[in-house]
Amino acid sequence: MGKRSLAAIAATLMTAAALAGCAGDDGGDAGGGSGKLVLGFSQVGAESGWRTANTKSIQDSAAASGVDLKFVDAQGKQENQIKAIRSFITQRVDVIAFSPVVESGWDTVLKEAKDADIPVILTDRAIDSPDTSLYKTFIGSDFVLEGKKAGEWLVKEYEGKNDPVNIVELQGTPGAAPANDRKTGFADVIKADPKFKVIASQTGQFTRTDGKQVMETFLKAHPDIDVLYAHNDDMGLGAIEAIEAAGKKPGTDIKIITVDAVKDGMTALAAGKINYIVECSPLLGPQLMDLAKKVNNGEQVEQRVLTEETTFTPEQAKQVLPERKY
Ligand code: GZL
């Protein structure tokens, strides 16, 4: 059991005593005295290849590091994540971690965790609360930088050309940090040159299905699309199906930039159907387990832990695909 304030320990013991009186059990921590660190994790859902790889990384790392993982899939709903966090508090897990499906609306439930003296770790996505005392650390990518990298590739690709460049954008889940920030980073770079015009921008919910459907509407409304910027590979892959069904060549007639670098995206990149991918690593499991142990022991940790990631061209994708973990 990690270091907790004396008041919280007293409250826990009194609750345990009360529960023991009525329920006959010790009402103790979720781990039932197994001695293992008990980590409650609320995952966004299973919307994309990235998410599947992220879940695998967390589950595999928990097993490898002897952490008792209570894993809950929120199916993309914030209310399910809030419910899961409240359940973790009731179970008195040692540490709570979650990937916030959207940036806002977390202060109340995170205050409840703080009052229960249970440390919280944010993974993958950030929240917009100004109260950074509500969580011990945030481990994840810099999504604004990812958007900037996508924009910088486009600027280079069209260097020296003056014709208008018509861009359509498939945004991630409305309100999600990666959707907000990848849009901002990309727009910040391309605004330097008026030839770049975002002629349509709409959410594809980070899924292939929605990415395909929205791209179909873009193609019907805009016969002159030059570039697609998709906030993740899955929407880009769905869009490729729509582009091919419309008789156009993805990667040639319409240049495509995506973010994530999951295996299916990298395969399309190697085949020239995508032109550039900005990596967003889902392999947060090992660092999360390390951070969970540290905060459980009351150790100081960095407020912000940035994940390492790069970018890929088709040539680079061909080289790394054979040993790609996800
Ligand atoms: C990014 C992550 C995003 C991925 C999508 O860290 O939150 O959510 O880019 C996933 O593929 O659905």
Same domain, 150 and 260: yes
Residues 124 and 150 in one domain: no
Max CA separation in the chain (angstroms)? 79
Q: Residue 177: what residue type?
A: A
If one residue of 54, 56, 206 were mutated to test the ligand 1 pocket, choosing by the most ligand atoms within 8 A of its CB, it would be 206
Q: Confirm or reject: Cβ of 146 under 6 Å from ligand 1.
A: no
Would 314 be classed as within a structural domain?
Answer: no
SS (H, E, C) 55-82: HHHHHHHHHHCCCEEEEEECCCCHHHHH
Distance CA 228, CA 46 (A): 24
- Residue 326's pLDDT band (boundaries 50, 70, 90)? confident
In a domain? residue 289: yes
With respect to residue 272, please indicate whether it lies within any of the assigned structural domains.
yes
Q: Are residues 287 and 252 in the same domain?
A: no
Tell me, yes or no, whether 236 and 276 share the same domain: yes
What is the per-residue pLDDT for 8? Answer: 55
Same domain for 194 and 149: yes
Assess whether 264 and 173 both reside in one domain.
yes
259 CB under 6 A from ligand 1? yes
State the pLDDT at residue 216: 98
pLDDT at position 150: 98
Q: What is the pLDDT of residues 246-291, one digit of tens each?
A: 999 999 999 999 999 999 999 999 999 999 999 999 999 999 999 9
In terms of domains, do 137 and 286 share one? yes
Report how far residue 17's alpha carbon sits from residue 259's, in angstroms, rounded to the nearest whole number: 52
Q: Quick one: 178 and 255 in the same domain?
A: yes
Domain encompassing residue 41: 33-141+282-308
Token look-up 């009402």 returns 27
Q: Is the pLDDT of residue 200 over 60?
A: yes
Evaluate whether residue 155 is within a structural domain. Answer: yes
Instruction: Tell me, using a 6 A CB cutoff, whether residue 178 lines ligand 1.
Output: yes
Note the pTM of the prediction, 2 decimals. 0.89
Question: Is the CB of 124 within 6 Å of ligand 1?
Answer: yes
Between residues 277 and 3, the one the model is more confident about? 277
321: exposed, middle or buried (C-beta count within 10 Å: 0-12, 13-18, 19+)?
A: middle
In angstroms, the CA 284 to CA 282 distance is: 6
Question: Does the residue 55 lie in any domain?
Answer: yes
Domains held by the chain: number: 2
Residue 17 lies in a domain: no
- Those residues whose C-beta lies under 8 Å from the C-beta of residue 32, and which sit 6 or more positions away, are none
Q: What is the mean pLDDT of residues 84-113?
A: 98
Q: Which of 211, 326, 310, 312 is nearest to 269 (CA)?
A: 312
Q: How many angstroms separate the alpha carbon of residue 178 from the centre of ligand 1?
A: 7
Query: Both 54 and 96 in a single domain?
Result: yes
- CA 137 from chain center: how many Å? 15
Which ligand 1 atom minimizes the distance to the CA of 124?
Answer: 6
Atom of ligand 1 nearest to the CA of 260: 9
If asked whether residues 216 and 137 sit together in one domain, one would say: no
CATH number at residue 149: 3.40.50.2300
Q: Are residues 303 and 256 in the same domain?
A: no
Find the mean pLDDT for residues 187-203.
98
Distance 216 CA to ligand 1 centre (A): 22
pLDDT at res. 19: 42
Q: What is the whole-number distance in angstroms between the Cα of residue 232 and the centre of ligand 1?
A: 7
pLDDT in tens, 220-256: 999 999 999 999 999 999 999 999 999 999 999 999 9
Position 233 scores a pLDDT of 98
Residues 172 and 271 in one domain: yes
The pLDDT value recorded for residue 5 is: 54
Percent of the chain with pLDDT over 90: 88
Residue 19: inside a domain: no
| Residue 74 resides in a domain | yes
Q: Whose CA is nearest to atom 3 of ligand 1?
A: 178
